[in-house]
Structure 1
Amino acid sequence: MKTFEPIEIATNHDIKIELRTVYVVRGDKKDYFSVKSALNKLAYVRTQEQFNEEGKESNFPYKLVKQEDGTSHLCRGDMRPEFIERHVQVLEELKANFNRERKRENEIILLRKEYQKAKEKLLKVSNDLKNAEHEYRNLK
């Protein structure tokens, strides 16, 4: 029996709590609900680590921007084209690895199903053979 959380009861079940797969990316404080977003963030983290090791800047320098009220504000510079290119490269490698693993997992599942079918067929043939032997002995 499911026990309802207070938020579910208070909102007349308009908010529902479900158990979901959550992807936690090492190097980030946020959780992700899709493979695509988790891989994208991991690619960003790995690319940033590579740039840090190489001593390269990933973004252009901060710029001073005047706001509407006349005050100045520092804005982070845009990402450098080299960083974006490396990010795309790392992301494609991660996607290829993920797809390879998913394909391997699907092959394992298919092999297990084939094994189960073959095992069931073997048991059926074995039982049929035992029954045939029993009938043969009874005919003598």
Structure 2
Amino acid sequence: NFFKMLWLRLKAMKHYKALNKESKKQEFENSFKDVQKIMRIVNHNIILRLKEEQNSTNVLEVSLVINHYYDMSRSLKWRAQRRKERQENSNQIIPQAMFHNHKLEALYLQRHLLDELIRKNKINNIVAAQIRENINYNEIVLSLQSKH
């Protein structure tokens, strides 16, 4: 009973830490998006101002600076698009990762149940060794699947 409570507490702590980490990451991404939006607006206003101040004597210099700001604006748009694509891909990957974690938890529970059966003398050592070998094999297969 003590180990079950300890196991549940550890599981709850892991879940809390994961949620806390995810919320901080989301908060950072939201502030980063805001900064990128502001930078695009600033770059656009700089370009408009430079176009107003352009005259026949500084056409080359101003056009070089304008091109630089256009490049910065394009890279900010490209980063935003890439981030959206990564988020869409990560949303597809999360269920697979969760499924993998559920499989691992099932193996740990099988191992725990087997230890309980051995401790209570409800299973003999030969059968327990075969079951433990099967659990170890499943864990190896699962770890190989996660690498691919």
Structures share a fold, TM > 0.5?
Answer: no
Q: Which has the higher contact order (CA 8 A, sep 6+)?
A: 2
The structure with the largest helix share of the pair is 2
The structure with the largest strand share of the pair is 1
Normalised to the residue count of structure 1, the TM-score between the two structures is: 0.38
Give 1 or 2 for the bigger CA radius of gyration.
1
